[in-house]
A and B are shown apart, each in its own frame.
Chain A
Amino acid sequence: MTLNIAVSYAECSARERLALIVDRGSFHEWLPPAERVTSPHLAQLGVPCAFDDGVAIGRATLSSRPIFIAAQEGEFMGGGVGEVHGAKLVGLLRRALRDRPDAVLLLAESGGVRLHEANAGLIAVSEVMRALLDVRAAGIPVIVLIGGSNGCFGGMGIVARCADRVVMSDVGRLAMSGPEVIEASHGVDEFDARDRALVWRTTGGKHRWLSGDCDVLVEDDVAAFRAAAIDALDASAPVTLKRLEDEHALLAARLRLLPDAVDGDEAVALWARLGVADAARVPDMDVDAVRALRVV
């Protein structure tokens, strides 16, 4: 008898996720830790480097089909994108244009640009976006998985929304400015970063699912992420004028739903106006129940 106990995606390291998402033993790493391609900036600031600069890249098979894959390690510098980290992502994406795997998987967990590397990190993120859009335009689906406890924020939040498909768990978070950044710039009355329920109502997987910002909502379970990634292997969605116009229409409609300040919680009000039944109960519902509620 085999016991099938769910393995939490959020609690895995980047390398554990890599090993469990792809076909067993199929991951072949490029620029592995022993190559020591590390940050040229961190040591000057007294910060230890990581042998992989916080991201592992390589090729693998998924359901016996060839893919490229990258996994960011959220525990190292919050998954921040530095010069080398970004260059590894760009190199992987450009190689995908040449070798044409069936898909590129990005296991994103990042606070965005690694501030220690400032301009180099900003440039790196913009290069990742350009490279990702080139791969998408070539008809190779880029699939982003978001379920790490550090979420996917800043420049990496934008990168995620450039992809063909976004898969999230309910504990995953996706946004541009992180909670602390909003509080620091607009004050605690605007956003209380310590209010965890508020943070998840406004950035978490359920919210992104109900508002149409992610394409698949899964449990915090590595096997569920793997299944969703396999489903997405043929989900290529090149950017077309129609797709852009649809996206703009979706965003404009969302903006019209909340014209003024609302009484009570804004996320709940948005879900209700989107037509979600029983919106107030969403935070307490399990993933299956929330999956059935989407109307966008």
Chain B
Amino acid sequence: MSEPSPGLETLNYSLPGQRPAGAFAPVLVGVVGSGNLEVLLEPAAGMQCDIRIETSARGFGAIWEAVVRDFHRRHPLAGVRVSVNDMGATPAVVSLRLEQAVSELAP
């Protein structure tokens, strides 16, 4: 196996949404600290839910995808851009932060 190259890993997902989020003020939850992450939700045009992740933990793409798909199953948001800055959070922490962000969207 080759050495992982230094630097961040960027992951992008675009999932078809079903529940339009409408207009809302951007939501930020969490902090980029050790084992933690921040999640920014912003409104976007279209019916997609676009998710962009920047993480210092390289090589965990399959786990990120599982966490993202699980999140999207619970909250099939449409017209939303989700941006994540991650410093090695565990999948459970990532799920909780995503859940927290959605809970702060105006009902």
- Identity of the chain B residue whose Cβ is nearest the Cβ of A52 in the assembled complex: B28
A34 at the interface (CB under 8 A from B): yes
B56 at the interface (CB under 8 A from A): yes
- Identity of the chain A residue whose Cβ is nearest the Cβ of B85 in the assembled complex: A48
Which A residues are in CB contact (< 8 Å) with B56?
A: 46-48
Which B residues are in CB contact (< 8 Å) with A75?
A: 31-33, 36
Complex: A46 Cα to B86 Cα, angstroms: 11
Asked if residues B33 and A76 are in contact (CB atoms below 8 Å), the reply is: yes
Asked if residues B31 and A33 are in contact (CB atoms below 8 Å), the reply is: no
Bits for A29-49, please: 1 = Cβ < 8 Å to B, else 0: 000111000000001101111
Q: Which of B47-105 contact A (CB under 8 A)?
A: 54-56, 83, 85-87
Closest Cβ of chain B to A83, distance in Å, is 17
Complex: A185 Cα to B40 Cα, angstroms: 41
Complex: A49 Cα to B33 Cα, angstroms: 10
B26 at the interface (CB under 8 A from A): yes
A102 at the interface (CB under 8 A from B): no
Which A residues are in CB contact (< 8 Å) with B87?
A: 47-48
Bits for A41-73, please: 1 = Cβ < 8 Å to B, else 0: 001101111111000000000000000000001
Which A residues are in CB contact (< 8 Å) with B107?
A: none
A26 at the interface (CB under 8 A from B): no
Complex: A13 Cα to B28 Cα, angstroms: 12
Which A residues are in CB contact (< 8 Å) with B54?
A: 48-49
A15 at the interface (CB under 8 A from B): yes
Asked if residues B42 and A49 are in contact (CB atoms below 8 Å), the reply is: no
Closest Cβ of chain A to B58, distance in Å, is 9
Asked if residues A73 and B31 are in contact (CB atoms below 8 Å), the reply is: yes
Asked if residues A51 and B31 are in contact (CB atoms below 8 Å), the reply is: no
Asked if residues A33 and B40 are in contact (CB atoms below 8 Å), the reply is: yes
Complex: A34 Cα to B56 Cα, angstroms: 21
Asked if residues B33 and A33 are in contact (CB atoms below 8 Å), the reply is: no
Complex: A32 Cα to B56 Cα, angstroms: 23
Complex: A53 Cα to B6 Cα, angstroms: 21
Which B residues are in CB contact (< 8 Å) with A47?
A: 8, 56, 87
A46 touching B8 in the complex, CB below 8 Å, given contacts A51-B85, A76-B31: yes
Asked if residues B32 and A46 are in contact (CB atoms below 8 Å), the reply is: no
Complex: A80 Cα to B1 Cα, angstroms: 36
- Identity of the chain A residue whose Cβ is nearest the Cβ of B32 in the assembled complex: A50
Closest Cβ of chain B to A76, distance in Å, is 5
Closest Cβ of chain B to A137, distance in Å, is 34
Q: Which of A11-35 contact B (CB under 8 A)?
A: 13, 15, 32-34
Q: Which of B3-57 contact A (CB under 8 A)?
A: 6-8, 26, 28, 31-33, 36, 38, 40, 42, 54-56
Complex: A206 Cα to B87 Cα, angstroms: 34
Closest Cβ of chain A to B50, distance in Å, is 14
A48 touching B32 in the complex, CB below 8 Å, given contacts A32-B26, A43-B7, A43-B8: yes
Q: Which 3 A-B pairs have the closest CB atoms?
A: A75-B33, A34-B26, A50-B32
Given contacts A48-B86, A76-B32, 11 further A-B contacts (CB under 8 A): A13-B31, A33-B28, A33-B40, A34-B40, A34-B42, A47-B87, A48-B56, A51-B38, A51-B40, A75-B33, A76-B31
Give chain A's interface residues, CB within 8 Å of chain B: 13, 15, 32-34, 43-44, 46-52, 73, 75-76
23 intermolecular pairs with C-beta atoms under 8 Å apart:
A15-B28, A32-B26, A33-B26, A34-B42, A43-B7, A46-B7, A46-B8, A47-B87, A48-B8, A48-B32, A48-B54, A48-B56, A48-B85, A48-B87, A49-B32, A49-B54, A50-B32, A51-B40, A52-B28, A73-B31, A75-B31, A75-B32, A76-B33
